[in-house]
Structure 1
Amino acid sequence: MKKRLLFICFTFTLVNTLLSQTQESPNVLVFYIDDLRAELGCYGSQTAITPNIDKLASEGIMFNKAYTQQAICAPSRMSTLTGLRPETLGIYSIFTPLRKIHKDVVTLPQLFKQNGYKTISTGKVYHHTIDDKESWSQLVVRPSKRYLKPENLKAIEALKAGGKKNPKGPAYEDADVEDEAYVDGEIANNAIKMLNKYKDDKFLLFVGFTKPHLPFIAPKKYWDMHDKSKFEIPSKEKPQNMYRLALSKWGELKGYHGIPKEDPLNDDITRTLIHGYHACVSYMDAQVGKVMQTLEELDLRKNTMIIFMSDHGYKIGEYGAWCKHSNVEIDVRVPLIVSRETNAKNRISGEVSNALVENVDIFSTLTEICGLESPKSDGKSLVPVLDNPDIKWDEVATSVFARGKNIMGCTATDGSWRYTEWRDSTTHEILGAELYAHKNSLLSFQNLSGKEEYKDVEKRMKALLESQFPRDAEPFLQNDQPRH
C-alpha cells in the first residue's frame, strides 16, 4: 500500500511537472515581412501609417539596431530559419533552395515539430516553397494572384502575345477592392484559420506577408491614406568614392512594365513608387492587426510570443537606386520587434533597445525561450536583452553580399560606423574598401576610407570586420553561383 501511494505521488508530481513545463513553453507567432525597411511609425517615420505594428512595439521590445545577414530574399530567410550565416551555408543567390545543398541541417520548423509543436507556414516564409515541406505540420502555399485592374491584365496579355515569356506587369496597382482580393489579405485570412484550427495545440506559426515587395499592389483605400504630394524625393547622389559594384543596377524594378530604363528615375515616377511602397506597408499593417485581434479573441495572447521582423531593408530612390541587393546601411538594417507572451515572467513592454542584434539570433532565442535543445548556431540567444534592453551586448553585426562568383562584399557595423571590404572570394585580396558614418542617419554620402583623419576609426572597424571575416580564412564557401 505504501509503495502504491509513493507511486501515485510520484506520478502526480511527474504529471504536474510536465504540465508546468508545457505551460511554460509558449506558442510562437512570427510575422516575417518582405522588403520592409525600418520605416514605421514606431521607428519615428513621419510618413508611414502603421498603427497595428506601433501597438505591437508598445507591448514589447523594439530593436533599433537589428541587421540581416544578406540583403536578398532566399539567403536571408535561410539564415533566419537555420541560425546559420550565408557564409556558413555557402548560398548567396535566390536561385538555390536550401535542401538542394543541405539535406541534414536542422531548421527551426524541423526542430519545433520534433519537439511536439504544430508548425505552420502561410504566405512567404522560405523563398522556395519546396524547402522543408516535411518540417511543416501544415504548409499553406502563398497565393499567386496579383493584378485585378482590366487594363493591367490586358497589358500583360499584350506582352505575352508579343512573344515575351512570363512578363512582369506594372510596378503598382490600386484597385478599389476589399483586402482579401489581394494576396496579403488572403494570407491574413489563412493565418486566422490556422489559429482557430490549432488553438488547442502548441504551435509555431510563421505568417509571411509579401508586401511591401514589388509590385506595389494594395487596395485603393490604403493609397488614399497617403498624400502623394507630401512625399519628398530622396537625394539621388551616390556616395563619393563608392566601390564600383557597391550598388546594384536595380534590374528587379526595371523589369516591370512601364518602368523607364533611365538611371535615376524622374521625380514623378519616383514619387508614385514611394506612394505605392507606403500604401503596401499600411495594407500589410492592417493584416497584422487582423491576426493579432484573432489571437486576443481566442485568448492565445497570454501564452504566445510574437516576433515581427523583415528579411532585409530596402531603397526607395535613395542614392538614385532601388530595391536591396547591397551592403549599404539602409539595405541591411531591419525592423525587429519582440513581444513576450503576456503571462511571461520578466516581460518588458514598450522599450527600445540599441543592442546590436542580428536576424541569425532568432533561432537561438526561440529555442531557449521554448526550452528546446538547440543545434549549433552562428547566432546567440537574445533572452538577456529581452530581460534587460539596456544590457551591454555585441560590438559588431556583420553581413555579406556577393557580386558574381568572384567578389564578396563583407560589411560590419558597430551601430555608428559601417566598414565594408570587397574581396576576391578565393584569396581574400581587398579590391575596395568603404567607411561610412551612420551615427545620425541611415544614409551616408562620403566614403571616408583611407582618409587620415579617420584612420583610427577605420583601423578599429577593420578589426571588427576581421573578427568575422579573417583575411587568412579559407576561400568563401560557394554552394551556388551568385548573380548580380
Structure 2
Amino acid sequence: MKKVFLAFAISYLSIGLSFAQEQPNVLIFLVDDLRNDLGCYGNTEVKSPNIDALAENGILFNKAYCQQAICAPSRMSILTGLRPESIGIYDIFTPMRKVRKDIISMPQFFKANNYKTVSIGKVYHHSRDDKSVWDVYFEKERNSYVKKENIEDLELQKQSGKKVVKGAAFEDADVADEAYKDGRAANYAIETLNKLKDDKFLMVVGLSKPHLPYNAPKKYWDLYNKDNFNVPSRNKPEGMFRLSLSKWGELKNYSNIPNEGDLDDDLTKELINGYYACISYIDAQIGKIINTLETLDLRKNTLIVFMSDHGYKLGEYGAWCKHSNMEIDTRVPLIINDGSKKKATQSNALVENIDIFPTIAELSGLNIHEVDGKSLLPLIDNPNKDWDEAAYSLFPRGDKYMGCTVTNGKFRYTEWRNPETKEVISTELFNHETHLIADKNLSGIPEYKKLKANMKRLLLKQFPKDYEFY
C-alpha cells in the first residue's frame, strides 16, 4: 500500500503558494529516545527550562504517538508524513532511498518551494537518505568520549578484535558543552542561522541525547542526586504475548554493564541520572539556539517544533530500550510554538508524528501532496476540538510476527499477526487510564469483551484482517 507515486507527488510541487502573511521559517528539534520526562509534562525532577518555555507560549500535546518505536522507520515516517507500512521499511538497516526513490520528503518539498534546507546532526537514521537535497548538511557524529580511561577502553576493544565495540554506557567529564557532539551541533546551528538570517529556511536539528551512551558534561549530572530516584518495577505485564518486549536493546553491549541478569538498584539510578543529565544538556543547547533566533530578530517569524522519534524504557519491565508497541515506547513529547507569545495551551487530542509534515506545510501556506498524516492547525487554533478517535503504531518480530497496535487514549489494543497467513496469534489489551505502565493483559477477561471489540474495530480501520505488510 504505497500511497505516494512520483508523478502524483511532483504535480503538487508546482502548485503556487496561497498565503496571506509572510512565510515562517521552520525549526524542528528532533530528539533521540526522549520519553515524556520533562518539566512541562509534569516530571518535577527533570530540569528542562528551555523546553518548558516553548510549552509556556505554545501548544503541548499530551497524547502524541510515533508510528514505530525504533529510529530509522520512525524518522522516515516523520520526514515523509507516511506510515512505516506505507513506506514498507520496518528495520534500521535499510535506507529509505534504497527502496523508495519515488517519495517526496519534507526537505525535498520545502526546497522546491524556495526554502533553504538545513540538516544538523541525526535527522535521518541513515545519513545518505536525502543527503543531496539539503542546502546545508552537518553530518551526524558517532558517540564521543572525553575521559582518558574510556578512550583507552575503546582502543583495547578494537585491538582485541571484538565485533561490537562499545564504550562505557555513561560519562560525566568536567568539560564545556562542545566537548560532546550535541554541543557542537548547537554551535553549527547557531553559525548557520547567522548565515541564513536573510533567507527562508527549514532547519532540522537532530539532537542525539538522551540516546545511549549517557555522555554529558558534569555540570548537568550535578543537577541531580541519584539517591532521590525511584527504581521502577521490573515486573512484566501479566498475560502479555511472549514477544511483546525486547530484552535489552543495545545496553548490554556497553563495557561497564553486566552481561547477564537485571541491573542492580545502584546502577539503575546511575543510568537514570545519566539520562536526565542528557535531557538537561540538550535543553541547554536548545536554549542557545533559541536565544540566537531572538538576537537575530528571527524568533517572531520562526515556527518551532519540538519532538522525539519515540519513547524509551528506563528499567520499566526490567528493560532499557524502545523496540515495542508498549505505551511507554510509542508515546512521545510534542510541542508546537509559532513565536506568537500566546498563552500556554495543552491538547489531549490523539495526534501522530506523521502529522508534523502536513502541519508545517499548511502553516507555511503550502499545498502538500497526499500523505498519511493530517495538519494539526485546527488543534492549534482550538486545542479542545474533537479529533481522531485513535492513533496507530506497529512493531515486527522478525518476519513471522507483526504487532499492530491502536490506542484510544485510555486503552491500548495490540494484535500479533502472522503477516503471511493473516492469522491472529495473540491479542493484548492494556489499561492506561491512570498509568503509563501496563500491568495485566485484559484481552481474555469477560468483563472487557465489549471494550476489546470496540478497540478491535478501531484497529481494523487501519489494519484490515487481510492487510499486506510486506
Give TM-score scaled by structure 1 length.
0.92
Deviation at 1:271, TM superposition (A): 1.0
Aligned pair partner of 2:469 in 464, 467, 476: 476
Q: Return the match for 1:389 from 371, 383, 389.
A: 383
Maintained 8 Å contact 1:61/1:348: no
Structure 2 partner of 1:434: 428
Q: CA deviation at 1:156?
A: 1.2
Letter matched to residue 41 of structure 2: Y
Aligned partners of 1:208 and 1:309: how far apart in 2? 10
Q: Is the 8 A contact 1:26 1:341 kept in 2?
A: no
Aligned to 1:31: 29
Aligned residue for 1:138?
136
- Unpaired runs of at least 5, structure 1: 1-17, 478-484
Letter in 2 for 1:450: G
Amino acid at match of 1:368: E
Paired residues of 2:18 and 2:365 also in contact (CA < 8 A): no
Residues 228-257 of structure 1 show CA distances to partners (whole Å, capped at 9, x for unaligned) of: 100110001100011000000113111111
Q: Which has the higher mean CA deviation after the structures are superposed, 150-159 or 396-405?
A: 150-159
Aligned residues: 455
1:420 and 2:418 equivalent? Answer: no
Q: Which residue of 1 aligns with 2:125?
A: 127
Q: Retained in 1: the 8 A contact 2:17–2:367?
A: no
Q: Pick which of 67-76 and 136-145 moved more.
A: 136-145
Deviations 1:35-58 (A, max 9, x none): 000110000002211011001100
Question: Residues 259-278 of structure 1: matches in 2 within 5 Å?
Answer: 259-278=257-276
Distance in structure 2 (CA, Å) of the matches to 1:322 and 1:166: 18
Determine the C-alpha separation between the residues in 2 that align with 1:241 and 1:262.
Answer: 24
Deviation sequence 1:140-189 (CA, Å, 0-9, x none): 11233501101111111121222214511010000000001001100100
In structure 2, the partner of 1:9 is none
Partner residue, 1:80: 78
Q: Matches of residues 406-417 of structure 1 in structure 2 within 5 Å? A: 406-417=400-411
Work out which of the residue numbers 298, 302, 305 in structure 2 matches 1:304.
Answer: 302
Of the candidates 235, 254, 257, which is equivalent to residue 256 of structure 1? 254
User: Which position in structure 2 is the counterpart of 1:184?
Assistant: 182
Superposition deviation, residue 377 in structure 1:
0.4
Is the partner of 1:341 in helix, strand or coil?
Answer: coil
Write the letter of the residue equivalent to 2:275: Y
* 2:143/2:213 contact within 8 Å kept: no
Match of 2:102 in 1: 104
Task: Give, in angstroms, the shift of residue 33 of structure 1.
Answer: 0.2
* Residue in structure 1 matching 2:354, options 356, 360, 367: 360
Change (3 A) 1:348 1:468: farther
Aligned residue number for residue 162 of structure 1: 160
- Deviant stretches of 4+, over 4 Å: 18-23
RMSD over aligned CA atoms reads: 1.4
Moved more, 157-166 or 430-439: 157-166
SS in 2 for 1:325: coil
Tell me the CA shift for residue 348 of structure 1. Answer: 4.6
Structure 1 counterpart of 2:8:
none
Tell me which residue corresponds to 2:450.
456
Cα deviation digits, residues 345-391 of structure 1 (max 9, x gap): xx853101000000001111111111222111001110000000010
TM-score norm. by structure 2 comes to 0.95
Moved more, 156-165 or 232-241: 156-165
- Unmatched tracts of structure 2, length 5 or more: 1-15
Measure the CA separation in 2 of the matches of 1:409 and 1:20: 41
The answer to whether the 8 A contact 1:60-1:348 is kept is: yes
Q: Does the Cα contact within 8 Å between 1:121 and 1:136 map onto a contact in 2?
A: yes
Worse-superposed segment, 54-63 or 347-356: 347-356
3-state SS of 1:394 partner: coil
Tell me whether 1:41 sits opposite 2:35 in the alignment. no
Structure 1, residues 122-144: CA drift from partner, whole Å, max 9, x if none?
A: 01100011010121111111233
402, 405, 412: which one pairs with 2:396?
402
**Do the aligned residues in 2 keep the contact of 1:407 with 1:425 (CA within 8 Å)?**
yes
